[in-house]
Amino acid sequence: MEGKEKKIKITPIEHGTVIDHIKKGQGMKVLRILDLVDREIDSIVSMAMNVNSSMGKKDIVKVEGKELKNEEFDKISLISPNATVNIIRDYEVIKKHRVGLPDFAKGIVRCKNSNCITNQSEPVETEFEVTGEDPVKLRCTYCDREMTGEEISENVI
């Protein structure tokens, strides 16, 4: 019965990407970070929130017809470092990645310091050094300010 329920909630996709084990409540942020909310795209995007798993509740995002690139994994890692990215072809998982934190995050997050030069109209990407993993900590390479937790997800570009 449980297995049947699972199938109804999370139907398999033919081609595309399934991002699994997203930290509960962060699914929307993952969609936003991958620019899947406002952008005109052909893919069908679906999200399941609050899904039971052996490790507690989680969110799942499915993007049909689009295979995520490595740099997109980096973005997900800032929000949910334990997420896994499954690339699907013909209903089969052909690649499974555990997202990993990059050493530097460029152009993904805005600095929380409103007086940071990167928050003015300057032609530069933001750049953060990843200084902590659990919780994720970022240091702005321009103004040195550190950000963590909600500060990061609230400032995703």
122 contributes a contact to other proteins by CB under 8 A: yes
Q: Which of 145, 151, 155, 156 binds other proteins (CB under 8 A)?
A: 145
Among 95, 41, 49, CA closest to 73:
95
Instruction: Find the distance separating the first CA and the last CA of the chain, reported in whole Å.
Output: 41
Q: Which two tokens stand for residue 155?
A: 């400032």
Q: Near other proteins by CB under 8 A, which window of 9-17, 24-32, 52-60, 120-128? A: 120-128
What value, to the nearest 5°, has the Cα angle with vertex 150 and ends 33 and 128? 65
How far is it, in rounded angstroms, from Cα 67 to Cα 64?
A: 8
Burial class (CB in 10 A: 0-12, 13-18, 19+), 64: middle
In the shown chain, the binding pattern of residues 98 to 117 toward other proteins, with x for contact by CB under 8 A and - for none, equals -------------x-x-xxx
94 contributes a contact to other proteins by CB under 8 A: no
Q: Which of 82, 142, 155, 156 binds other proteins (CB under 8 A)?
A: 142
Which residue lies nearer to other proteins by CB, 13 or 111? 111
Which residue lies nearer to other proteins by CB, 25 or 107? 107
Shortest spacing between CB 157 and other proteins, in angstroms: 17
Torsion sign across C-alpha atoms 93, 99, 103, 106: positive
Shortest spacing between CB 27 and other proteins, in angstroms: 32
